[in-house]
Structure 1
């Protein structure tokens, strides 16, 4: 959560401080405000070595977008490049779902398992043998993949149709709304049914052991 606040809040603050307070041009303000997320991701990849392929892809997309924006001098392209990371993630999520290895399961698992060993074991058993559970996993990834893809499309449209100063902060609103919709839709379709199945599965071994003792 703290990392998300850095990646969202700091660039917006930097843009307005540099453009309105310091008086830098729109392009310069956008460029400098893009530095913090890129530096944070680079630190994670090259110094802490806590990386994955997606983090590396996001960094490459960000840097390529930044170079192209500076080369063309197009402030709107600079804004549109922010959707590159979202586009990359949405594509990876949807492709992983088609391949039967839904990526978003890794993000959902800690929330449903809650650090409990029995619930963790229950997740593993269900994910390996329950068609209903695996369908819910796929639904969760599809919902989030489509939500992120929608955010990408809306951000690009906004970047080329709305005033730059407005879109700097409104892009974050678009992301927030898409995330809220994804949470609301994925709840009844996937999260709640999965939680019920995990709870039932986690209690099953204990109940079976009790029955054997009797």
Structure 2
């Protein structure tokens, strides 16, 4: 009778993923909320406040922009005074609000009003591009929570890579440059359309242009930078 032999299984082959305890899951959720807080406070609240004040309360554009800029202003001043550094995302939102207030004073024909809609994305795109080339990628603040998923080991890995990995820093700058470029192109296209197409067409085409730019930045930025960055974070956390 033939006797079959079985090779001993290794620890890797028999290992099964350990379930995450309730305490660990709660800690991950708290960490994710904590990492998302700057994105919500610096960008989400000002934008939400603007729409609530204009569409919900009937406030003028200038007044709504001024009031919605209070949080970014406080955050920027606090960062400079307390931490001796500029809060990048809050500063960008503050610049956008100031630009919006100044542009709201401009009166003109309907084409100028349509062209003004590109000011926000144009200024934002320029600031993001300039910061990326200066080595201070602003879009990393929005990407980090989704790449680390609130896992402390991944958050620590992100910080190590951001400080010590030249490849990771290049990917950070690339991600910001892609988003800045997409938004700047959208702004330029909207201005060109405002003065070459009929106002009726631009009334709906402006939103389409923004949607296309947003989706393109997500797809291109994901494949060219975000996905490789997430893999590097996972490898660093595992190591």
Does 2:89 align with 1:79?
no
Over alpha carbons, which structure has the higher Rg?
Answer: 2
Rounded to whole Å, the distance in 1 between the matches of 2:71 and 2:140 is 27
Residue 230 of structure 2 is matched in structure 1 by 195
Q: CA deviation at 1:141?
A: 0.9
Does 2:101 align with 1:66?
no
Q: CA deviation at 1:43?
A: 3.0
TM-score w.r.t. the length of structure 1 is 0.73
Please show how residues 10-21 of structure 1 align to structure 2 within 5 Å: none
Q: CA deviation at 1:93?
A: 0.9
Residue 94 of structure 1 is matched in structure 2 by 129
- Stretches of 4+ aligned residues off by more than 6 angstroms: 1-8
* Structure with greater helix percent: 1
Rounded to whole Å, the distance in 2 between the matches of 1:7 and 1:159 is 24
**Structure 2: which 5+ runs fail to align?**
1-43, 77-89
Does 2:154 align with 1:127?
no
Q: CA deviation at 1:202?
A: 1.1
Partners of 1:66 and 1:78 within 8 A in 2: no
Helix, strand or coil at the partner of 1:101: coil
Q: 1:47 to 1:196 in 2, by over 3 A?
A: closer
The alignment covers a number of residue pairs equal to 181
Residue 172 of structure 1 is matched in structure 2 by 207
Q: CA deviation at 1:98?
A: 1.3
Residue 94 of structure 2 is matched in structure 1 by 56
Helix, strand or coil at the partner of 2:105: helix
Q: 1:41 to 1:203 in 2, by over 3 A?
A: farther
Partners of 1:123 and 1:198 within 8 A in 2: yes
CA RMSD of aligned residues (A): 2.9
TM-score w.r.t. the length of structure 2 is 0.66
Which region of structure 1 is more displaced relative to structure 2, 38-47 or 127-136? 38-47
Rounded to whole Å, the distance in 1 between the matches of 2:192 and 2:59 is 20
**Structure 1: which 5+ runs fail to align?**
15-32, 205-214
Q: 2:70 aligned to 46, 69, 84, which one?
A: 46
